[in-house]
Amino acid sequence: MMDYSLRCTKCSHAEADDAFRCSRCGSILEVRIDYSSIMIGKAFRSRRVKNSKYLLLFPIKRFEMEGGEGGTRLVSHNIGAQKVMFKMETENPTGSFKDRGSAVEISKAVELGRNSVCCASTGNMGMSVARYAKLAGISATIFISKDASKEKIARIKSYGARLVKVDGDFNTALRNAEAFARKDRTFMCGDYHFRKEGQKSVAYEIIDQCGSPDFIFLPVGNATLLSAVYKGLSEYVRFGLLDSMPRIVAVQSEKCDPLVRAYMSGRHLEYVKPKTVADAIAVGYPTFGLEGIAALKKTHGIAVNVSEDQLRDAILMLEEKGIGAEAGGAAGFAGFMKFYENDREMFRGKKTVIVITGNN
């Protein structure tokens, strides 16, 4: 396994593996990797994309379950005369990219000898954590808004997880989950450092499948995916597997766009009360917001919001291409369409990847 340490993203204080926030300042943590401890062989690049290929880039000894996540297709489609590529994260076992993060964070919980995990979710992550905990033979408690999708709540229960419905939005559920984890000494899963590590493989696979894209469009809730994709790309640059950084385009709904507002105005990240049809990304205050903004700055990235109608149109357009996606999962594509309709030249001759993140 690679050498790494856990550090606070703000004050660099070192923490033990089962911490989920800095014990000094409360900020989130990062896995600081000693890259000299990772050996990428010559055959690495040409090996088939599947999650086990990337084990050496994850901070775990092994996968503690056969989850079947990752190895999703990158498929080309034409939007008018423009070719784009969709990264089909809907092909993961629970229908979203969340399975990549769950495989890593729950393997870590097992490695640390923990037998219970908890997490807060808008739905998809709860489903994924519930499934992976079940596969690993440990128990899961999921905190979710009482207003969350009934179908998602039913799926979480079907994996045998305990459900705690919270009177409030995702950020209220998150505060409850963190208080529970501290009191109950339960391993905290969800949008924290180990999940971020697992979700880096979205980036590894995109590069292994298409070389060097110019743009990567993705939706933002807690901005863990955004931060993870940036970290994955940076690692590929470091290992000589990628020559130039793609521009990342982060997409949120107009009805819940704290990261877009902060990035575009240069002001502080502020809580926005979520009111969007894109329930998956209805996160009023993104946990990885500051990291996400830094990632956009470093890739000359763009942050854009889309209307509820643009989200609905994106779902229908994808459906016509035989691609099922929920509103949050289609948001990256809605963001692409917003630019494309205004300025077709922007994408001419460019390699554009759009991550379709979920279909629940």
Residue of 191, 194, 188 whose CA lies nearest to 59? 194
**Residue whose beta carbon is closest to ligand F0G:** 358
How many angstroms separate the Cα of 137 from the Cα of each of 86, 185, 359?
A: 34, 18, 26
State in angstroms the smallest separation of the CB of 119 from ligand F0G: 8
Nearer to ligand F0G, 164 or 241 (CB): 164
Distance CA 295, CA 301 (A): 8
Nearer to ligand F0G, 83 or 261 (CB): 261
Nearer to ligand F0G, 84 or 202 (CB): 202
State in angstroms the smallest separation of the CB of 226 from ligand F0G: 6
Nearer to ligand F0G, 5 or 109 (CB): 109
State in angstroms the smallest separation of the CB of 63 from ligand F0G: 21
DSSP assignment of 328-357, as one string?
Answer: HHHHHHHHHHHHHHH-GGGGTT--EEEEE-
Which segments of the chain does DSSP mark as H helices, in order? 98-111, 124-136, 150-158, 170-184, 193-199, 201-210, 224-238, 258-265, 289-298, 308-320, 327-342
Rounded to the nearest angstrom, the gap between the alpha carbon of residue 189 and the centroid of all alpha carbons in its chain is 13
Distance CA 111, CA 81 (A): 50
Output Rg (C-alpha) for the chain, integer angstroms.
Answer: 19
Q: Helices 201-210 and 224-238: crossing angle, nearest 10°? A: 50
The tokens describing 333, both together, are 């594509």
Q: Are 189 and 195 in contact (CB under 8 A)?
A: yes
Nearer to ligand F0G, 207 or 283 (CB): 283
State in angstroms the smallest separation of the CB of 329 from ligand F0G: 4
Q: Are 301 and 247 in contact (CB under 8 A)?
A: yes
State in angstroms the smallest separation of the CB of 194 from ligand F0G: 13
Nearer to ligand F0G, 140 or 226 (CB): 226
- DSSP, res 157: H
Q: Which positions lie near ligand F0G, rule CB under 6 A?
A: 96, 98, 121-125, 191, 219-226, 280-281, 283, 328-329, 357-358
Nearer to ligand F0G, 236 or 333 (CB): 333
Nearer to ligand F0G, 122 or 176 (CB): 122
Distance CA 212, CA 231 (A): 15
State in angstroms the smallest separation of the CB of 124 from ligand F0G: 4
State in angstroms the smallest separation of the CB of 317 from ligand F0G: 17
State in angstroms the smallest separation of the CB of 155 from ligand F0G: 12
